[in-house]
Amino acid sequence: MVLKKAKVKAESGGLLLFEKVEDAVRAEEILSEADYTVRLVAPPPTFRMGCDLAIEINLVEQIGIGRLFREKGVNYLKVVPLKGAGRLLDVVKVTEFKDATMVKAGNMKVTFDKNKGTILNVSGGGCPDIPYLSASLIGKKLSDAPRPKDIGFTLCAMMMDRAVVECLELWRKRLTS
């Protein structure tokens, strides 16, 4: 089999890196079958780890791709953005209202009722799963709500998940204080 190893295009946004060539090839097949727009490429030297094959992806879609790989048992090393520091934002900001707490993680904000632990509102974001996730979470107890990382597909969903995790943490602390 001859593998076409194209040059990386910055517009794809991200690369999936693999330990073994066969993992990369299988991953590409699975992603193509699932209608993801991807390409096998030769990773630039600065990103190379494991084998010399990588897959270009739309960086925004990494959460859905990661879930698909877990379901299908595909091994991969990591996802790297083609520009920037390569680290997802991991800090949050907290705003207190009289009876509610709002947690901001990146471009997402999740607000919960301090007394009931219910998700009151979700704001921010711009990817297409956000309105769907908001409708799925609002009105639910933090402890019962689905995790955005389990049902979302995009980086906005990942940021929403970080906010939900922080809300849960704050709510549990409140219950035990």
Partner 1 sequence: MEEKVNKLMLVCGTVPVKDLPLISGRAVFEGEFLSVNGFKVPCAQGTAAMIGGALSVADCLKLEPPQALVVGDTGRGQGSYLLYEFLIQRVSTLSPDVLVLHYCLPDMTLMRKLCESVRSCAKRPLMIADAASMYAAKAAGLATEFDIFTPDLCEMAFLADPDASHPAYINKHLFEADIAKVPELVAAAYQLKSAARLLLVKGAVDYIAEDGKVVDIVSEPNIPELEAIGGTGDVITGIVSALAYAGLELREAAKTSALVNRMAGKLARPSPATRVWQVISQLPAALEQRRVTC
Could you list the residues that contact partner 1 (CB under 8 A)?
Answer: 11, 13, 35, 58-61, 64, 81-91, 93, 95, 97, 99-100, 102, 104, 106-107, 109, 111, 113, 120-135, 138, 152-159
The nearer residue to partner 1, 44 or 126, going by C-beta atoms, is: 126
The percent of the chain in helix, strand and coil, each rounded to the nearest 5, is: 40, 25, 35
Is 148 exposed, middle or buried, given 0-12, 13-18 or 19+ CB atoms closer than 10 A?
Answer: buried
What 3-state class would DSSP assign to 90? coil
The nearer residue to partner 1, 2 or 91, going by C-beta atoms, is: 91
The nearest distance, CB 74 to partner 1, in angstroms, is 18
In the numeric block, the tokens 């991200």 are attached to 14
Cα distances (Å, whole numbers) of residue 169 to 101, 112, 174: 12, 12, 9
The nearest distance, CB 51 to partner 1, in angstroms, is 25
The nearer residue to partner 1, 102 or 164, going by C-beta atoms, is: 102
The nearest distance, CB 107 to partner 1, in angstroms, is 4
- 142, 117 contact by CB (below 8 A): yes
The nearest distance, CB 40 to partner 1, in angstroms, is 17
The nearer residue to partner 1, 23 or 154, going by C-beta atoms, is: 154
